[in-house]
Amino acid sequence: MSNREIRDFIVQDYIKRFKAVLENGGKESLPDDEKELFEKFEKLGPDKFLSEMMKEITRDLREGDIKKKRLSFRRNMQIVFQDPMSSLNPRMTVGEIITEPILFHGIAKTKKEAYDMAGDLLKQVGLKVYHLDRYPHQFSGGQRQRIAIARAISINPRIVILDEPTSALDVSVQAQIINLFLDLQKSYNFTYLFISHDLGLVRFISEKVAVMYLGRIVEMGDTEEIFNNPIHPYTKALLSAVPIPDPKVERKRKRLILKGGVPSPINRPMGCFFHPRCPWAIEGKCDVQYPELIEVKENHYVACFLVEKS
């Protein structure tokens, strides 16, 4: 997506939602961080708002230091994608793939130095130095993901985003990759942002968990607290769907089955985004106002009208 497409998408999305807010209710249905923008929309009207926003975002994108900020952001934050086959360039050798960011960010001065570093990285992720000359299609899925991990950590980032990094792999390979993540974290001391639908894996790997629904965090806290004491109705429904590997307990497991499907993220419902599916929705409140995330206990945050601030 180009900068222009992103800009158009963001502005059009705001206009669509703000028009719906004007027609169906007040600005209480908006999250706090969007209320100021909505006031501007109300004041200017859709056409003028559109041209103002376009000008503002275009100016931001042209700002001289944005390029520098983007570079330092990329240096500190790397990502491992779900499918290593499509995230690795099939026309580049593993050596070229791993040395590219090292040379780009000036971590190595010469190609030889960068290749030496890439060889060390391959050994750390469980591959061999001679793999540097091979192409991605010559590896298995698990090995390809190891290459993607080596590329991500090659510039020593502070945060690594793991976007469903094991969902395309066999269960036995999944376990190896997760253990590799944990070992690398100990040696490099970076933070992981682990995105997954596999709640067992989330519980195993995370120290803190944030549950999202339609692009917003609905519950957040320490992992054991969220798994042992879920408060938001959506978190309760998610956790009730996790099978328990003990037939006796599993037979007694009560499921909270939600009605309906997930609405489109570009046309989210008014008020609490979850209200059309929530068994405890309060009419006249949940469909009108947006619940902000509040701290209900130390390090436990929930966005729901059923709970009160601690």
Given the rule CB under 6 A, which residues bind ligand SF4?
A: 232-233, 272, 274-275, 278, 280-282, 286, 291, 304-306
CB of 239 to ligand SF4, least distance (A): 15
Pick between residue 209 and residue 293 the one whose CB is nearest to ligand SF4. 293
Q: How far is CA 226 from the centre of its chain?
A: 18
CB of 225 to ligand SF4, least distance (A): 18
Pick between residue 118 and residue 278 the one whose CB is nearest to ligand SF4. 278
CB of 233 to ligand SF4, least distance (A): 5
Pick between residue 91 and residue 259 the one whose CB is nearest to ligand SF4. 259
Pick between residue 152 and residue 278 the one whose CB is nearest to ligand SF4. 278
Whole-number Å distance between alpha carbons of 202 and 219: 14
Residues 6+ apart with CB under 8 A from 127: 143, 146, 147, 150
Are 135 and 86 spatial neighbours (Cβ–Cβ below 8 Å)? no
Nearest to 17 by CA among 2, 1, 3, 37: 37
Pick between residue 9 and residue 280 the one whose CB is nearest to ligand SF4. 280
CB of 216 to ligand SF4, least distance (A): 11
Residue 128, helix vs strand vs coil:
coil
CB of 209 to ligand SF4, least distance (A): 17
Please return the burial class of 217, using the count of CB atoms within 10 Å of its CB with bins 0-12, 13-18 and 19+: middle
- As a three-state string, the secondary structure of 245-285 is CCHHHHHHCCCCCCCCCCCCCCCCCCCCCCHHHCCCCCCCC
